[in-house]
Structure 1
Amino acid sequence: MILVTGASGQLGRLVIESLLEKTAASNIVAAVRNIDNVKDLAEKGVHIRQADYTQPDTLVTAFANVEKILLISSSEVGQREIQHKNVIEAAKAAGVSLIAYTSILKADTSSLILAEEHAATEKLLAESGVPHVLLRNGWYSENYTGTIGMALEHGAVQGSAGEGKFSAAARADYAAAAAVVLTRDNQAGKVYELAGDNAFTLSEYAQAISHLSGKAVIYQNLPEAEYTKALVGMGLPEGFAGILADSDVGASKGALFNDSKDLSILIGRPTTSIEDSIKAAL
């Protein structure tokens, strides 16, 4: 039995879809806060269990008779460490044979604020004694293409990354890699630095939008504080806006670049190009 936490989320659903291509639905457990959100998965034969990172009792029940768990990192930045600790402790109590954790690129050395809770979770895993594998995910292309409408409206992509390169890939690529790891033997102890094959700068990203949309779009590089203010103006909470701006600054120093090709090797094909992600968004 393979259990996927956060199975109703954007990444979780894609992982379930990839797993269904590799194993029977009866071998898959979708763990979610609200089971009503995954009725479609139940109809496919996937087991559904209620699990909340903040309620340890639900985790202990959900993990019964499970062999492997994909711990998809919590979306609640600032609360991740304690929530992940609850998952790890419940998994240990259940005697699972493997935890796969979706971390961030170079979590052990990264200077990104966003990496702090990931590094802390990796430490918790190491101290737990539970066999585990680290899936250090790079940036999702959707982090940018999700706001492509705004870029077209204003004729600009804003950021603080300078000429830093992003080794991004489509969320589905990372999901496919997770499914491979979860259905492959002898994964405990491995660390995968997962990133797109072809890195791009935000200037190159803006140029690609221009080329594919036929509308002129430029890259506007802003100081970190100004970019944070711009993100707040778009409706993001100030704290999260600051984290995103920090990530851009980190990217300018190489924090979100990686050329390991771990991702394309795992999935057995090239990763989705930013151009193809832009086309899909358009």
Structure 2
Amino acid sequence: MTTLITGATGKLGGLTTGHLLDRVPATEVAVSVRDPAKAAALAAKGVDVRRGDFDRPEELDFTGVDRLLLISADGPDDVRITKQAAAVRAARDAGVGHIAYTSVVDAPTTPIGFARVHRATEEVIAASGIPYTFLRNAMYHENYTLPLAAAYERGALISAAGDGGNATASRDDLALAAAVVLSTDGHENTAYELTGPRAWTFAELAALASRATGKPLAHQEVRPVDYLAELRAGGVPDFLAELFVDHHAHIRDGVLSTVRPDLEELVGRPLTTIEQAVRVSLT
């Protein structure tokens, strides 16, 4: 049994590879990375390191792979859709037995703008005839805890999400769930909705930061147009700034507030809370 992980030198891919190596022998693990030199430590453990770049799908090497974790690529939506569809075709042509794909929570129905990438990729995978598992990940805790230090420098945590809740999960918990799916049977043609243990608001996040540091952090609610201007002034590229504003609008509307049991059931232990993530980030 050979299991291959794409993007294994990235944050989610690296964590998933680590958890998988805790569960199966290194000789049963392969990784596909743009720069094999960055995976030298994995090669030293006996992992099969293959050069793979989604920009060159004709060079993707999925031969002999029984289970493939396809970690979604970065970049503009249309580029991602094209790259990921090409990777799925490469997997089909190589005879891959099972694809797990890192999607987004409620991919088929959510109004969140960037979900169209995941929706399109899920459709390509389902049409390929390869047995699949869709790992529909919630937003990461870390997307919101890492910017807290900058919020202190600015003097406030700024949002345009109102009092909407966000049921985020830790990247490591989501990585462990992926490793469980890759190393156990019974997940074929299944979609898991993977959220954290509770939904929190940005006002709560500011309060948690204040509690963790002993230094008050205000929460400042702004209009979407002002949030967009703030992001642009901070040097965020336009397509990302617009994505963030769209994201906050859907948080405000409650789109990301539903808590599901799938993640805790897969990992088999209590999930990392937003409180724990804030403490790790700031202390």
Deviations 1:83-116 (A, max 9, x none): 1101100000111111001001101111111111
Measure how far apart 1:37 and its partner are: 1.3
Instruction: Provide the secondary structure at the position in 2 that maps to 1:199.
Output: coil
CA contact (8 A) 1:2 1:182 kept: yes
CA contact (8 A) 1:73 1:84 kept: yes
Distance across 2 between alignment mates of 1:232 and 1:26: 47
- What residue in structure 2 maps to residue 232 of structure 1? 232
Measure how far apart 1:226 and its partner are: 1.4
- What residue in structure 1 maps to residue 207 of structure 2? 207
- What residue in structure 2 maps to residue 43 of structure 1? 44
Identity %: 38
Q: Does 1:219 align with 2:197?
A: no
Distance across 1 between alignment mates of 2:88 and 2:152: 43
Amino acid at match of 2:38: N
Measure how far apart 1:77 and its partner are: 2.9
Amino acid at match of 1:28: V
Distance across 2 between alignment mates of 1:127 and 1:224: 38
CA contact (8 A) 1:155 1:216 kept: no
Amino acid at match of 2:18: E
Q: 100-109 or 224-233, which moves further after superposition? A: 224-233
- What residue in structure 1 maps to residue 15 of structure 2? 14
Deviations 1:148-188 (A, max 9, x none): 21112223111111111111111001000000011111211
CA contact (8 A) 1:206 1:218 kept: yes
- What residue in structure 1 maps to residue 116 of structure 2? 116
Amino acid at match of 2:75: E
Amino acid at match of 2:200: F
Q: 219-228 or 163-172, which moves further after superposition? A: 219-228
Deviations 1:182-238 (A, max 9, x none): 111121111100010121111101100001111111221222221122112222101
Amino acid at match of 1:190: T
Amino acid at match of 1:4: I
Distance across 1 between alignment mates of 2:258 and 2:174: 14
- What residue in structure 2 maps to residue 132 of structure 1? 132
**Aligned positions of 1:89-104 closer than 5 A:** 89-104=89-104
- What residue in structure 1 maps to residue 263 of structure 2? 263
Distance across 2 between alignment mates of 1:48 and 1:210: 44
Q: Does 1:55 align with 2:56?
A: yes
Instruction: Provide the secondary structure at the position in 2 that maps to 1:92.
Output: helix
TM-score, with length taken from structure 2: 0.96
Instruction: Provide the secondary structure at the position in 2 that maps to 1:63.
Output: coil
Deviations 1:61-82 (A, max 9, x none): x201010110100011321100
**Aligned positions of 1:231-250 closer than 5 A:** 231-250=231-250
TM-score, with length taken from structure 1: 0.97
Distance across 1 between alignment mates of 2:244 and 2:253: 15
Instruction: Provide the secondary structure at the position in 1 that maps to 2:208.
Output: helix
User: How many pairs are equivalent?
Assistant: 280
Distance across 2 between alignment mates of 1:41 and 1:258: 37
Measure how far apart 1:262 and its partner are: 0.7
Amino acid at match of 2:13: G
Distance across 2 between alignment mates of 1:73 and 1:275: 27
Distance across 2 between alignment mates of 1:201 and 1:126: 35
Measure how far apart 1:257 and its partner are: 2.1
Distance across 2 between alignment mates of 1:228 and 1:46: 44
- What residue in structure 1 maps to residue 274 of structure 2? 274
- What residue in structure 2 maps to residue 155 of structure 1? 155
Listed as ranges, the gaps of 5+ residues in structure 2 are none
Q: 186-195 or 152-161, which moves further after superposition? A: 152-161
Amino acid at match of 1:167: A
Q: Does 1:72 align with 2:81?
A: no
Runs of 4+ in 1 over 3 A off after TM superposition: none
